[in-house]
Structure 1
Amino acid sequence: MSEALVYVVDDEEAICDSVGLLLKSVRIACRSYSDPGEFLAQWRAGWRGCLLLDVRMPRMSGMEVHRVLKERGNRLPVIFMTGHGDVPMAVEAMRAGALDFLQKPFKDDELISRVQRALAQDAEQAASAQQHSDVERRYASLTPREREIARCLVDGASNKVIAIDLGLSERTVELHRAHIMQKMNVRSLAQLVQLLISVQPDAE
């Protein structure tokens, strides 16, 4: 997983420099681009952090950059930087999935606060994605029979009903259930059902 950075895209190099120095002063790492095309060429799906994106740029508008990123499946929280006349566009961008917008000229503490909020959201998303990946990995370790029994457990069937439906002894079902609990790393049926519901739609 890549390091969390603040990516600044603004055609005014002075803005890139000043934002970079401000973030550095509070120990937030950043990378700046005065050319949105260069940013898009370097962008990677695994990037962590957030994006500060200027709305109005001559080569490619921030709205266009945002649209391209959405098509690519970007997960970086996006904060638009706007001039006074660009606020309606920024609001439109938020409706399209952007996190926030800052109106220029913005105060230092306001920028830092918005960036910290975006970084916190990104960290939360990354942790959630990692947790889901771990659950999918555990589910993949189940045998076909264990998955069959797991589906029955999600449906609320008892060991006795599962045994009858699958033509097994109740003791065999109990052993499979114990193995499922161990592999999924849970201690209660409620925990197991919760995890199985989160992965089974993708696993069918």
Structure 2
Amino acid sequence: MNSPTHYVFVVDDDEHVRNALCRLLRSGGYAVEAYESASAFMRGADLTHVPACLLLDLQLPDFSGIELQRRLEGVVPIVFISAHGDMNTAVEAMKAGAADFLTKPIDACVLFEATGQALERARHLFAQREQRAEIQRRVDKLTPREREVMALVVTGRPNKLVADELGAAEKTIKIHRARVMEKMKVDSLADLVRLVATSAFDASGLLSLRSSRTRGARQRAGRHPVSHSG
């Protein structure tokens, strides 16, 4: 049996509604997991394996759907479902990034359309996360010195200036730069800049740390012991 390529999570404390939604979604070809509360969802749902969206009831026994939305912080697209929703709540949910807001009872066509659109967004988010994770795996293979070289190279500095900044020979910087390009799997500086911009690599922070260390070393080097004759 093939593994699902996506999941639709249903969180609703009403067992009848929960089961009805699951049957309807499965009849439309969706892989579904259901939970009776927000805390049960947080304990049991895997949001990292495949693209997924969430059909979320507004009123739940432990904490509200809006609160769960805040805790998820945009990790998964959410379609709110509620018999209690009002315009203010709907506006709040949509402003916070909800994919849609549906009122019970829900028409099957409306449900399928909203779920399909949410999953399309989920696939886009999942692809972005996978790309960032792959880039991070490449960054993790760099040595501390190679990270420093990369942080300077992506600012446009030529090898000679990088060498001056790091107190190394230009020939050594060329070797480090070649290793960076190899480990990051890029063929050009433009590609490297793009990957660094996409990743969580903080080139500016690394440069700031490097600069503060350099200033500290220079200050220490400039101090001279005072001799006392007596």
The normalised TM-score by structure 2 is: 0.73
Q: Deviations over 1:47-92 (max 9, x none)?
A: 75121122245x356xx23314533657222111133753432222
- Measured in 1, the distance between the counterparts of 2:165 and 2:36 equals 65
Q: How does 1:60-71 map to 2 (within 5 A)?
A: 60=62, 64-68=64-68, 70-71=70-71
Identical columns (%): 36
Q: CA deviation at 1:13?
A: 2.9
Tell me the amino acid that sits aligned with residue 51 of structure 1: L
Find the residue that maps to 2:152 and give its secondary structure: helix
1:200 equivalent in structure 2: 201
Q: Which runs of 5+ in 2 are unaligned?
A: 207-230
User: In 2, are the aligned partners of 1:87 and 1:103 still within 8 Å (CA)?
Assistant: no
Q: Confirm whether residue 21 of structure 1 aligns to residue 23 of structure 2.
A: yes
Q: CA deviation at 1:44?
A: 5.2
2:55 equivalent in structure 1: 52
Q: Confirm whether residue 7 of structure 1 aligns to residue 9 of structure 2.
A: yes
Q: CA deviation at 1:17?
A: 2.5
Q: CA deviation at 1:145?
A: 2.0
What is the number of residues matched between the two proteins? 200
- Measured in 2, the distance between the counterparts of 1:39 and 1:148 equals 42
- Measured in 2, the distance between the counterparts of 1:112 and 1:17 equals 16
More off after superposition, 129-138 vs 66-75? 66-75
Tell me the amino acid that sits aligned with residue 118 of structure 2: A
Q: How does 1:45-194 map to 2 (within 5 A)?
A: 46=48, 48-56=51-59, 59-60=61-62, 64-68=64-68, 70-71=70-71, 75-83=75-83, 86-194=86-194
- Measured in 2, the distance between the counterparts of 1:31 and 1:201 equals 37
More off after superposition, 163-172 vs 121-130? 163-172
Q: CA deviation at 1:129?
A: 1.4
User: In 2, are the aligned partners of 1:184 and 1:192 still within 8 Å (CA)?
Assistant: yes
User: In 2, are the aligned partners of 1:50 and 1:122 still within 8 Å (CA)?
Assistant: yes
Q: Deviations over 1:28-50 (max 9, x none)?
A: 01122345554455345647512
1:30 equivalent in structure 2: 32
Q: Deviations over 1:125-175 (max 9, x none)?
A: 222112111211211211222112111112211112223333433332222
Q: CA deviation at 1:3?
A: 6.4
